[in-house]
């Protein structure tokens, strides 16, 4: 009987071992599944935290602050979508879900909010929820030389006006006829050159037209009197001076070079030589090349001074007072060419041969 029991146990041992092995595999699978699920949950939480609690990546040209507007009765969903479209958030779904969990679907207060790309989407949403809207003036700085395109892009980035709104306000129209500096400009003329570059404090509810009027008034105040009298004495027009000054502004590396650059261009105009300004080529093509290609300079366009004689139809940007004064009171010399070596200084030449030699020495 003992031998029979021993045989029976031996026959049952493989079955028990198989059951233990199956149980171990099931347990191991369960552990792996739990770990995998946990990893997925962790990854999801980490991703969501990154979408909500970290600022979005912005380009170097992004302003430090901008204005984000909440309209009356605007929904949380629409706010989340607009924050994404402005580049201030990455996921409208995640932001809306967070807002609903926090009870933000009601109580978002209309107004204009000064926000920063350095703020996380959650920080921005909390600021809107708090009602910390802007009722004071916003400081806007327009650098010297900026074109109308640069200005309207900046206003749009700051959340004040759309590009189309400011562009429509920045052309000659009957509402601006009271400005003496605009005498002679035809209806529809782009006001590039007349929008004086400066720092302005603007109320959030300002209209594009009111801002344009402030910029025009600033220029008129600065050129009235002595400067306008000098322009008349030289038998020039303000439009001509602003047009050349806008080129001088772009071609000179600093204010000290502006009289020499202006002198070169006036000398060329006097002998009916084309200006051949690289700045006008960049304006036409929307580029910022240090040296345009031969193909670039051959583009037929009324603002390309490699092709057209004399001044272009109007300014290519909005010059500051240094460029305006340098254009009105240029250096007295007989140079016809100039270039800028890598170190930024100016090298003047009398002839094309001298200019080629300077180019070979400093640029090639």
Structure confidence by residue, pLDDT tens digits, 74-133: 888 998 898 888 888 888 898 889 888 888 887 777 777 888 888 888 888 888 887 777
Residue 288: per-residue pLDDT: 86
Residue 335: per-residue pLDDT: 96
Separation of CA 160 from chain center: 14
Residue 44: per-residue pLDDT: 43
The pLDDT of 289-318, averaged and rounded, is: 94
Domains of the chain: 66-130 (3.30.1490.480), 139-223 (no CATH), 236-362 (no CATH)
At 13, the pLDDT band (50, 70, 90 cuts) reads: low
Contact between 214 and 201 (Cβ < 8 Å)? no
* Cα gap 266→252, rounded to integer Å: 15
Residue 51: per-residue pLDDT: 75
> Burial letters for 61-92: b for 16+ Cβ neighbours within 10 Å, e otherwise?
eeeeebbbebeeeeebeebbbbbbebebbbbb
The pLDDT of 202-228, averaged and rounded, is: 91
Question: Which of 48 and 179 is assigned the larger pLDDT?
Answer: 179
> The whole model's pTM is what?
0.67
* Cα gap 122→124, rounded to integer Å: 5
Mean pLDDT of the chain: 85
The pLDDT of 326-349, averaged and rounded, is: 95
At 42, the pLDDT band (50, 70, 90 cuts) reads: very low
Q: 115: closest CA among 64, 152, 161, 74?
A: 64
Residue 70 has pLDDT above 60, yes or no: yes
Residue 141 has pLDDT above 70, yes or no: yes
At 35, the pLDDT band (50, 70, 90 cuts) reads: very low
Query: What's the pLDDT tens digit per position in 248-261?
Result: 999 999 999 999 99
Residue 313: per-residue pLDDT: 95
Other C-beta atoms lying within 10 Å of the C-beta of residue 207: 13
At 137, the pLDDT band (50, 70, 90 cuts) reads: confident
Residue 41: per-residue pLDDT: 40
Residue 6 has pLDDT above 90, yes or no: no
Question: Which of 161 and 39 is assigned the larger pLDDT?
Answer: 161
Residue 244 has pLDDT above 90, yes or no: yes
Secondary structure string (H, E, C) spanning the chain: CHHHHHHHHHHHHHHHHHHHHHHHHHHHHHHHHHHHHHHHHHHHHHHHHHHHHCCCCCCCCCCCCEEEEECCCCCHHHHHHHHHHCCCCCCHHHHHHHHHHCCCCCCCCCEEEEECCCCCHHHHHHHHHHCCCCCCCEEEECCCCCCHHHHHHHHHHCCCCCHHHHHHHCECCHHHCCCHHHCCCCCCCECCCCCCCCEEEECCCCCHHHHHHHHHHHHHHHHCCHHHHHHHHCCCCHHHHHHHHHHHHHHCCCHHHHHHHHHHHHHHHHCCCCCCCHHHHHHHHCCCCCCCCHHHHCCCCCCCCCCCCCCCCCCCCCCCHHHHHHHHCCCCCCCCEEECCCCCCCEEECCHHHHHHHHHHHCC
* Cα gap 216→293, rounded to integer Å: 36
**The two structure tokens encoding residue 71:** 């309209």
Torsion angle of the four alpha carbons 141, 143, 147, 153, in this order, in degrees rounded to the nearest 10? -40
Contact between 186 and 172 (Cβ < 8 Å)? yes
Residue 215: per-residue pLDDT: 95
CA angle 312, 194, 303 (to 5 degrees): 15
Give me the residue label for tokens 């304006």.
283
């Amino acid at each position: 009987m003992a031998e029979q029991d021993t045989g029976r146990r031996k026959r049952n041992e493989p079955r028990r071992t198989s059951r233990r092995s199956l149980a171990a595999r099931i347990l191991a699978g369960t552990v792996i599944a739990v770990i995998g699920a946990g990893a997925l949950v962790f990854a999801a939480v980490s991703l969501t935290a990154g979408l909500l609690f970290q600022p979005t990546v912005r380009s170097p040209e992004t302003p430090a602050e901008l204005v984000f507007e909440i309209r009356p009765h605007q929904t949380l969903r629409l706010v989340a979508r607009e924050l994404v479209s402005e580049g201030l958030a990455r996921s409208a779904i995640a932001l809306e879900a967070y807002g609903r969990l926090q009870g933000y679907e009601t109580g978002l207060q209309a107004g204009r909010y000064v926000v920063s790309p350095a703020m996380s989407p959650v920080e921005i949403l909390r600021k809107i929820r708090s009602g910390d809207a802007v009722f004071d003036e916003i400081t806007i700085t327009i650098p010297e030389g900026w074109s109308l395109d640069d200005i309207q892009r900046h206003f749009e980035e700051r959340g004040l006006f759309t590009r189309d709104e400011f562009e429509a306000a920045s052309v000659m129209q009957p509402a601006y006829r009271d400005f003496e500096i605009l005498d002679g400009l035809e209806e529809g003329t782009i006001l590039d050159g007349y929008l004086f570059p400066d720092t302005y404090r603007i109320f959030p509810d300002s209209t594009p037209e009111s801002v344009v009027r402030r910029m025009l008034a600033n220029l008129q105040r600065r050129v009235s009197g002595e400067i306008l009298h000098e322009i008349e004495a030289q038998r020039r027009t303000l439009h001509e001076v602003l047009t050349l000054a806008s080129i001088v502004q772009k071609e000179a590396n600093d204010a000290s070079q502006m009289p020499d650059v202006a002198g070169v261009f006036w000398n060329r105009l006097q002998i009916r030589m084309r200006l051949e300004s690289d700045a006008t080529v960049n304006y036409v093509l929307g580029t910022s090349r240090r040296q345009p290609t031969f193909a670039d300079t051959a583009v037929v366009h009324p603002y390309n001074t490699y092709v057209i004689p004399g001044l272009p139809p109007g300014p290519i940007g909005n010059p500051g007072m240094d460029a305006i004064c340098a254009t009105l009171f240029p250096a007295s010399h007989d140079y016809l060419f100039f270039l800028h070596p890598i170190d930024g200084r100016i090298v003047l030449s009398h002839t094309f041969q001298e200019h080629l030699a300077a180019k070979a020495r400093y640029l090639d």
